[in-house]
C-alpha cells in the first residue's frame, strides 16, 4: 500500500466518522448513480518540497465536495471544521447544492 492510498483511506474514514452514515465517494466513475446527500472527494494535487535535487516531502491536496438538496446542510459545517480545510466555492446544479473545499 503506497502513501497516497493510505491517505485516501484515512480521509474516507475521517469523513465517515464526522459525517455519519452518508454516501462517500472517492473519484466516482461517471456511470455510477450517486445517492444524496453525498460527499465526493478526489486527489487534486501533489506539491513536492525539494532540496539538493531530491523530493523530501510531498503535500497531497484533496478536493472535497458536499452535495445536498439542503442549502444549509450540516455536512458543510462538519467538513469545514476539519483541520487544514479551506472553503472554495458554492454552486447549484440540477437542484443540488455543491460546496467545494480543499483539504491540505
CATH of the domain at 92: 3.30.2000.30
DSSP state of 81: T
64, with CB counted inside 10 A (0-12, 13-18, 19+), is buried
Cell triple for 51: 532540496
Supply the pLDDT for residue 3.
Answer: 60
- Rounded to whole angstroms, the Cα distance separating 32 from 25 reads 10
List, for residues 68-90, the tens digit of each pLDDT value: 999 999 999 989 988 899 999 99
Q: What total number of domains does the chain contain?
A: 1
pTM for the full predicted model: 0.83
Residue-number span of the structural domain to which 95 is assigned? 3-103
The mean per-residue pLDDT over the stretch 7-17 comes to 76
Amino acid at each position: 500500500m503506497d502513501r497516497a492510498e493510505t491517505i485516501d483511506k484515512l480521509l474516507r474514514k475521517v469523513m465517515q466518522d464526522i459525517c455519519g452514515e452518508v454516501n462517500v465517494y472517492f473519484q466516482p466513475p461517471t456511470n455510477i448513480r450517486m445517492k444524496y446527500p453525498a460527499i465526493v472527494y478526489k486527489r487534486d494535487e501533489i506539491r513536492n518540497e525539494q532540496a539538493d535535487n531530491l523530493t523530501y516531502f510531498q503535500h497531497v491536496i484533496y478536493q472535497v465536495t458536499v452535495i445536498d438538496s439542503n442549502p444549509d446542510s450540516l455536512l458543510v459545517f462538519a467538513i469545514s471544521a476539519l483541520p487544514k480545510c479551506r472553503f472554495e466555492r458554492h454552486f447549484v446544479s440540477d437542484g443540488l447544492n455543491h460546496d467545494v473545499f480543499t483539504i491540505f
